[in-house]
Amino acid sequence: MSAELLKALRDVVGREHVLHKPEDLLVYELDGTIDRSLPDAVVFPGNTEEVQGVVRACNALDVPVTPRGAGTGLSGGAVPTRQGVVLATARMRRILDVDPVERTATVEPGVANIRLSEIAAEHGLFYAPDPSSQKACTIGGNVAENAGGPHCLALGVTTNHVIGMEVVTASGEVEWLGSHGPEPTGYDLRGLFIGSEGTLGIATKVVVRLVPVPETVVTLLAIFDDVDSASETVSAVIGAGLVPAALEMMDTVTLQAAEAGLRCGYPPDAGAVLLIELDGIEEVVRGQVTQARAACNEHGATEIRTATEPAERELLWKGRKGAIGALGRIAPNYYLLDGVVPRSKLVETMGEVARIGEGYGFPVANVFHAGDGNLHPCLLFDEREEGATARVLEAGAEIMRVCVEAGGALTGEHGVGFEKNRFMAWLYSEEDLENMRRVRGVFGNEGAFNPCKVLPEGTGCGEMAHQKGALAAAGPDAYV
């Protein structure tokens, strides 16, 4: 790293908030995915002005900037693919305002997702989107990725709950997008920014909508012999006109891992578990629970557990929330995928996923948001085995291809990031992608602001050999 850059960064944020020694940089080379790249420096600005100062200093010296929240992302969004500076929001963790009348909270981007519900609780409110990493992941990262979570089926994802934000654009300007509550006039720049994966700018203040805590919540956990029966139950629940708050499924590999690690009391021969959560006023929920139970029984549930108290419900959720972590007990490494298919294609797609896993010799654990067709196959592997990492990426690419060909999408909630940018052509034409390039231009991103993310291009982005292998496995041609 140049002395000029180091001095410029220290001038903006202070000497103690710049890391540049290789040993200090190691934890910033990766997020929750497989790809890694070591930055030249990591800076920790403390406020909007400092964020702006860092972005401007980097732009002036033509140094790439990669924003970073908690680093829990699952598509390589926070990996500094072309080195340069990682701009971390870890110091920006202030709660600026909680307004029970407007039902909003205004916070800095480094605030953890779960803090929002904690600060809202005393007003009988909560923040709806709940990514599985919610104890760690930040609201700034959630904005970048348009994060979802198990409870997004009925209430929507981040874009439905973030009303406005102050941003520092890729070009280094400070601007408010959206509002503090009302609907602003003109183009929905807020909606455009959310989910842009940190390529248009970095949010420095975020206004979220808070919603009333449901009066009654009932969680059902139903155990089935196989995934097909559980899937048919999902269709029956939707067919009955219910929109549950959550509708989650786990398959047998996941259940065994969860049982081994968390002791949830799942029968050893269970083929699938379905979690159904219903909320609202008691008078309404009661009837819905009856309907949901009937659907489970009709489709061969071997056991149904019901919980209404928070502690009991927590217990039913334990296996689901800890499932991915528990996979560590049955394999040294896992590669967690995120794909979407029309819900009616779930069973068929899972069959394909299993076939691909078998072909490559990787066991597959499945956890998914069954209600919205968002599947998370998890490929279990051991990176110490020669070539395993490259092969697991190839298998992942094939699975993505299957999702696209089923009429689905490359990502439901993790983002495209670096992981899937080369697959974009399976879904979008050159002109479709051109729209996204134009939007980058509108926010002054000339290629160095979170480079190599979302779009399949950029100099210095294409050197990771195993990614090339993955593309070769699944085919580069446009699927339009």
Partner 1 sequence: MSEAAAQASPLVAGRAPEAVVAPASLDELRDLVAERDGRTLVPVGAGTQLALGGAPREPFTLVDVCGALAGEVEHEPADLTAVALAGVTLGELDAQLAGSGQRLPLDPPHAERATLGGVLAVGAGGPLRTRHGLPRDFVLGMTVLRADGELVKAGGRVVKNVTGYDLMRLWCGSLGTIGIVTSVAVRVLPRVETIDLRFEVRTLAEGQGLAERFLRADLRPELLDLTKEDGRWVGVVRLTEGAVPKAESIAEADLAPSSEGDYLAVRDLGFQKEEMLTVRASCPTSAIGSTAEALEALAPSRLLVRPLAREVRATWEEGSLPEGDAVAGAVGRLRAGLAESGGGLLAERIPTELRGALDPWGRPPTFARMAAVKAAFDRDGRLNAGRYVGGL
| Nearest to partner 1 of 176, 360 (CB atom) | 176
Between 24 and 175, CB nearer to partner 1: 175
Query: In the window 245-274, what residues touch partner 1 (CB under 8 A)?
Result: none
Among 14, 261, 280, 325, contact with partner 1 (rule: CB under 8 A): 280
Closest CA relative to residue 247, chosen from 256, 238, 255, 239:
238
> Shortest approach of partner 1 to residue 203 CB, angstroms?
15
Which residues in 370-399 contact partner 1 (CB under 8 A)?
372-374
Quick one: 46 or 164, whose CB is closer to partner 1?
A: 164
Please identify, using beta-carbon distances, which residue of 79 and 200 lies nearer to partner 1. Answer: 200
Cα-Cα-Cα-Cα dihedral of 464, 467, 473, 475, to 10°?
A: -100
Position 98 contacts partner 1 (CB under 8 A): no
Q: Check binding of 241 to partner 1 (CB under 8 A).
A: yes
Residue 38 in tokens = 């070591």
Residues of span 398-427 touching partner 1 by CB under 8 A: 407-416, 424, 427
Q: Which of 86, 208, 212, 79 is nearest to 142 (CA)?
A: 208
Beta carbon of residue 332, minimum distance to partner 1 (angstroms, whole number): 29
Pairing type for strands 18-19 and 104-107 reads unpaired
Least Cβ distance, residue 113 to partner 1 (angstroms): 16
Q: Does 152 bind partner 1 (CB under 8 A)?
A: yes
What's the one-letter identity of residue 4? Answer: E
Q: Please work out the total of residues on this chain that contact partner 1, with binding judged by CB under 8 A.
A: 84
Is residue 287 within 8 A of residue 240, CB to CB? The reply is no
| Closer of 83 and 374 to partner 1 (Cβ) | 374
Q: What are the CA-CA distances from residue 250 to residues 79, 204, 377 (Å)?
A: 29, 37, 10
The beta strands (E) that lie in 25-155 are given as: 41-43, 65-68, 85-88, 95-99, 104-107, 125-126
Ramachandran angles phi, psi of 2, nearest 5°: -75, 150
Determine how β-strand 41-43 pairs with β-strand 85-88.
Answer: parallel
How far is it, in rounded angstroms, from Cα 208 to Cα 187?
19
Cβ(41)–Cβ(6) under 8 Å? yes
Rounded CA-CA distance 187/60 in Å is 30
What angle separates helix 388-405 from helix 465-474, to the nearest 10 degrees? Answer: 40
One of 38, 61, 95, 102 touching partner 1 (CB under 8 A): 102
Residue type present at position 163: I
Note whether 406 and 345 are within 8 A (CB).
yes
Residues 198-237 that bind partner 1 (CB under 8 A): 212, 214-216, 235
Instruction: Spell out, one character per residue from 299 to 338, where the chain touches partner 1: x when CB under 8 A holds, - when not.
Output: ----------------------------------------
Which residues within the stretch 115-134 sit at the binding site for partner 1 (CB under 8 A)?
A: 124
Which member of 121, 239, 309, 472 binds partner 1 (CB under 8 A)?
Answer: 239
Q: Which residues, numbered 42-81, are part of the site for partner 1 (CB under 8 A)?
A: none
Q: What is the DSSP code (8-state) at residue 213?
A: P
Strand duo 125-126 + 339-340: pairing: unpaired
Whichever of 163 and 380 has its CB closer to partner 1, that residue is 163
Shorter beta-carbon distance to partner 1: residue 17 or 190: 190
Q: How near is the Cβ of 312 to partner 1 at its closest, in Å?
A: 20
Under rule CB under 8 A, which residues in 181-200 are in contact with partner 1? 181-192, 194-196
Q: For the chain, count helices (H), then strands (E).
A: 17, 19
Residue placing its CB nearer to partner 1 in the complex, 156 or 475: 156
The answer to whether 35 and 84 are in contact (CB under 8 A) is no
CB of 331 to partner 1, least distance (A): 27
Which residue among 142, 159, 233, 389 contacts partner 1 (CB under 8 A)?
159
CB of 17 to partner 1, least distance (A): 30
Looking at 37-45, 46-54, 107-115, 172-180, which segment touches partner 1 (CB under 8 A)? 172-180
Q: Which is nearer to partner 1, 43 or 350 (CB)?
A: 350
Alpha helices in 406-474 (DSSP H): 424-427, 430-442, 465-474
